[in-house]
Structure 1
Amino acid sequence: MHYVDSEVGRLQAVLLHRPGPELARLTPRNNDSLLFDGIPWVGRAQEEHDRFADQLRTRGVEVLYLTDLLTEVLQIEQAREELVDAVLADIRLGDTLRRRVRDHLGYLDPAGLTRVLTAGLAHDEMTPGSGLVYRMMDRRDFVVDPLPNLLFTRDSSFWVRDHAAVTSLAMSARRRETSITHAIYEHHPRFAGTETAYDPWLEPLEGGDVLLLSPGVLAVGVGERTTPAGAERLARAVFAAGLAHTVLAVPIAQERATMHLDTVCTMVDVDTVLMYPNVADDLVAYTLTEGDEGDPVVHGPDPFLVAAAKAMGVDRLRTIHTGLDVVTAEREQWDDGNNTLAIAPRVCVAYERNVETNAQLERAGIEVIRIAGSELGSGRGGPRCMSCPISREPLDPARAE
């Protein structure tokens, strides 16, 4: 059974994407538009990711790879058609090139199609032909864009109890990612019968902005990637399905360094958060609860830590700060020091480079599993960003039965 009701329940199964040929498509010419701050060394990124996955396995976590699930799903004709249609929906193609792309994809076996869906299709990888769009393309352009951000599986989906939420990604370079995630949840036998709490055609909402603070309480960052309308839509959905009783909408700065809520705050215990101190005192929350006729009732804003503790039914949240001074905190927040993945209460995975933040965690009694991230971090994402938990040991056993 797939079930997640918190950020910290013992992790049982997780969805990862091992970086592949899509990262080799990044160049100084396109890395900005594909949302990477650098050009990663692909081989080293794969080694770092393999060690990350191995650390999870040694703790008893089942690791599922997105490309394996995708290849299996592409053996199902309906799923294949849906995923090809998502590629062909690109308005840049025009009718002539669209027909050629459909023909090209039609000859590929599931493994070959998986590669194109993830790593893209370059201009020179197609048989030259007629058509204005193809002939006017630069030979370095892509007919089908690669998806290097698939590495960050947290953003395209998350789970609330036994429901999968397939998100609506805000940036054009990432929108096709959710067609893959949606097809996997819709068609793969492992997820048969799974109900959804969100769909990719709705208002912008990204998984990195959603924290499951406790059973029934969600925090949703609103900023660069998630809109107020997305947060409100999610609140309506989880209230209607009985998945939550409170949603906290948390405004965050619309900047690259703070693109998601989990870049400034993650949970490391049932009552403990790791927070970026430069925003901790200013972070506020609007509290949404279920109202009449489906319209959420909105209260606040109130200080985030106060509103969160009240919604969770605890006296206060313990706070661990990133780094020891303003400069160190800013450096380590940029290097995803706040973006930890809890695999059990008081046990988390973090990048080894964030020395002071990790020391702070350990002084507070949190076990830190350190992983390398010199190459993985070039897309601005840490262990939480790179993982989509699909099963955790419930903190609310009664609701899981």
Structure 2
Amino acid sequence: METGIHNTSEIGRLKRVMLHRPGGELENLMPEYLERLLFDDIPYLREAQREHDAFADCLRGQGVEVVYLTDLVVESITDDTVRQDLLRQFLAESGVEDQRTRDRLEEYLGEMPDREMVAAMMAGVRKSQLRDRGGSLGDYLSAAEDEYPFAVDPLPNLYFTRDPFATIGTGVSIHKMHTATRNRETLFGKFIFAHHPVYRNAPQWYDRGETTSLEGGDILVLSPKVLAVGISQRTREDSIDTLAQTVLSQSKTFRKVLAFNIPKTRSFMHLDTVFTMVDYDKFTVHPNILSSITVFVMELDENGKMQIRQEDGRLEDILKEHLELDSVTLIPCGRGSEIDAAREQWSDGSNTLAITPGEVVVYSRNYVTNRSLEEAGVRIHVIPSAELSRGRGGPRCMSMPLWRDDP
């Protein structure tokens, strides 16, 4: 099996993918704090894990090597110095201002074996877990005065591994997330790409220390030459400027970045909820963008200076031009029905994961869109989705390709 990173398309044969099996972080969701944690509902963990295992087994059945986020983080803890640095940075970004609580957290997490420590960082730490270890009267009094139940918030969005970083060509962009809630997720990517024996030498196109947000769901690798990025609710134009300059000047293959201006709403959260690539010339799309869309074409001139031009038109024509295709087939979510499209867009009907050209993984509940895919000649692998879909993300959101063959 190939080592390192290679990802030059959305549809090349998928060889290795990173997932995160949902864990204790979902059992730390509470109705009162869903908005704070960017969740709309509370999945049932045991069933979510069964569905996620079915997703992983589906990929393995097609010859894909599945690796897990937790394993990669643990394998990146190569010595005590790295471990202490991870713990120190985690605590620094945890939002804990009380020194007594931070000291107790450092002791609590520091005594754990590596795997248990990483799992606890992801799950969050309840104040009751710290109190159960004993302590002073002051610990109990401070807890009673503050009704919030967590010493450190959980990271329930972690099973959407697409967002904290993105693989582009042979390199990676590690992101500054739109919200503080999710920004802590990128710390794990930082350590993987700094210390993991397989991935530590990958070029880095973007750094989590940047000041403006960029999220992986807004990044689509359309071909070895063309990268698409969404200007969205969660990805800012300044971030795209930085990413485009770095990728176009330093990567070996990319020649242009297409910056798609999409609505800044939750239903259009990322570009990959608007459209995804399922074959060389086939795309799933949200029906609301079929009429017209604005794209900014970003290219470097012979002197390395960025040149940008605006194009307004049909998505079909824009994709035909920049991917040099004779024709493009757009497959509307929900078969274009206003009601079916809205319902299946809510459960990410447009968010497919290609295993190879013309072959994708889809959620079972999006049966209207799935029928359209089959009628268009796309082979589908259907996975259960009753609980996973409660997090508002589809198969593409839940997967981070580490190696794809060239299309």
TM-score range, shorter chain: over 0.9
Report deviation, 1:316: 3.7
Q: Which sits farther off after the overlay, 112-121 or 12-21? A: 112-121
Instruction: For 1:362-373, list aligned pairs within 5 A.
Output: 362-373=374-385
Report deviation, 1:131: 6.7
1:386 and 2:398 correspond: yes
Normalised by the size of structure 2, how large is the TM-score?
Answer: 0.92
Quote the residue 1:274 is aligned against: 284
Match of 1:290 among 277, 300, 307: 300
Report the secondary structure of 2:74's partner residue.
helix
1:148 and 2:156 correspond: yes
1:232 and 2:235 correspond: no
Distance across 2 between alignment mates of 1:51 and 1:157: 24
1:195 and 2:203 correspond: yes
Quote the residue 2:192 is aligned against: 184
Spell out, residue by residue over 1:359-390, the C-alpha distance to the aligned partner (whole angstroms, 9 max, x if none): 10000000011111110011100000000000
1:354 and 2:362 correspond: no
Match of 2:105 among 89, 98, 101: 101
Q: Which sits farther off after the overlay, 206-215 or 234-243? A: 234-243
Distance across 1 between alignment mates of 2:397 and 2:340: 22
Normalised by the size of structure 1, how large is the TM-score?
Answer: 0.94
Instruction: For 1:16-95, list aligned pairs within 5 A.
Output: 16-89=19-92, 90-95=94-99
Contact 2:96 2:102 in 1 (8 A): no
Report the secondary structure of 1:72's partner residue.
helix
Distance across 2 between alignment mates of 1:92 and 1:179: 16
Contact 2:127 2:143 in 1 (8 A): no
Match of 1:174 among 152, 176, 182: 182
Report the secondary structure of 1:180's partner residue.
helix
Quote the residue 1:339 is aligned against: 351
What amino acid is aligned across from residue 214 of structure 2 in structure 1? L
Distance across 2 between alignment mates of 1:176 and 1:44: 26
Quote the residue 1:306 is aligned against: 317
Report the secondary structure of 1:193's partner residue.
coil
Match of 2:125 among 121, 127, 136: 121
Contact 1:248 1:308 in 2 (8 A): no
Contact 1:71 1:111 in 2 (8 A): yes
Structure 1 spans left out of the alignment, 5+ residues = 396-401
Distance across 2 between alignment mates of 1:172 and 1:201: 13
1:249 and 2:252 correspond: no
What amino acid is aligned across from residue 196 of structure 1 in structure 2? Q
Report deviation, 1:183: 0.6
Report the secondary structure of 1:211's partner residue.
strand
Q: How many residues align?
A: 395
Runs of 4+ in 1 over 3 A off after TM superposition: 127-140, 291-295
Structure 2 spans left out of the alignment, 5+ residues = none
What amino acid is aligned across from residue 10 of structure 2 in structure 1? E
- Taking a change above 3 Å as real, the CA distance of residues 300 and 50 of structure 1, as seen in their structure-2 partners, is same
Report deviation, 1:137: 5.6
Report the secondary structure of 1:155's partner residue.
coil
- Taking a change above 3 Å as real, the CA distance of residues 145 and 9 of structure 1, as seen in their structure-2 partners, is same
Report deviation, 1:269: 0.4
- Taking a change above 3 Å as real, the CA distance of residues 332 and 292 of structure 1, as seen in their structure-2 partners, is same
Spell out, residue by residue over 1:2-33, the C-alpha distance to the aligned partner (whole angstroms, 9 max, x if none): 20100000100000000011110011111221
Report deviation, 1:230: 1.1
Report deviation, 1:193: 1.6
- Taking a change above 3 Å as real, the CA distance of residues 137 and 166 of structure 1, as seen in their structure-2 partners, is farther
Distance across 2 between alignment mates of 1:388 and 1:29: 31
Identity of aligned residues (%): 39
Contact 1:287 1:307 in 2 (8 A): no
Quote the residue 1:398 is aligned against: none
Report deviation, 1:293: 6.2
Match of 2:274 among 247, 250, 264: 264
Instruction: For 1:318-337, list aligned pairs within 5 A.
Output: 318-324=329-335, 325-337=337-349
Distance across 2 between alignment mates of 1:313 and 1:371: 33
What amino acid is aligned across from residue 258 of structure 2 in structure 1? L
Report deviation, 1:295: 4.2
Report deviation, 1:134: 4.5
Distance across 2 between alignment mates of 1:273 and 1:262: 11
- Taking a change above 3 Å as real, the CA distance of residues 157 and 375 of structure 1, as seen in their structure-2 partners, is same
Contact 1:262 1:338 in 2 (8 A): yes
Report deviation, 1:216: 1.5
Quote the residue 1:399 is aligned against: none
Report deviation, 1:182: 1.3
Distance across 2 between alignment mates of 1:21 and 1:132: 24
What amino acid is aligned across from residue 384 of structure 2 in structure 1? A
Report deviation, 1:280: 2.2
